[in-house]
Amino acid sequence: MSQYRGIDRHRFEPARLVLGLALTAVAVVVYVRARDEDGRLPVAVLVALVAGSLLLAGLVSLVTRSLRRARQGNRDGEKREPADAG
């Protein structure tokens, strides 16, 4: 139980932080580009930036998951080897 009333503890998810920061950066790029005299950002570039942000967050999520599983194995007294070590 948390020491603060009404606030429950939850696991930190780095992928959410990375996704939020990446999409904020995309929004800043779009805003700056819209303020420029040239005008708009091509839709293909915008889609590529958003897709890249999602892929980066997915990669961070996979790394986080594998590290947590390895750490959990170490707590149980057994050492987990990666599935593909070669």
Per-position DSSP letters for 21-71, written without gaps between them: HHHHHHHHHHHHHHHSTT-PPPHHHHHHHHHHHHHHHHHHHHHHHHHHHHH
For residue 34, the model assigns a pLDDT of 84
For residue 15, the model assigns a pLDDT of 94
Residue 82 lies in a domain: no
Q: What is the mean pLDDT of each run of 10 residues along the chain (86 residues)?
A: 67 92 93 81 90 96 92 70 59
For residue 60, the model assigns a pLDDT of 95
The domain total for the chain is: 1
Domain span at residue 67 reads 14-75
Residues whose CB is less than 8 angstroms from the CB of residue 52 and which lie 6 or more positions away in sequence, other chains included: 22
Read off the DSSP letter of residue 82.
P
> What is the Cα–Cα distance from 5 to 49, expressed in whole angstroms?
40
Residue 43 lies in a domain: yes
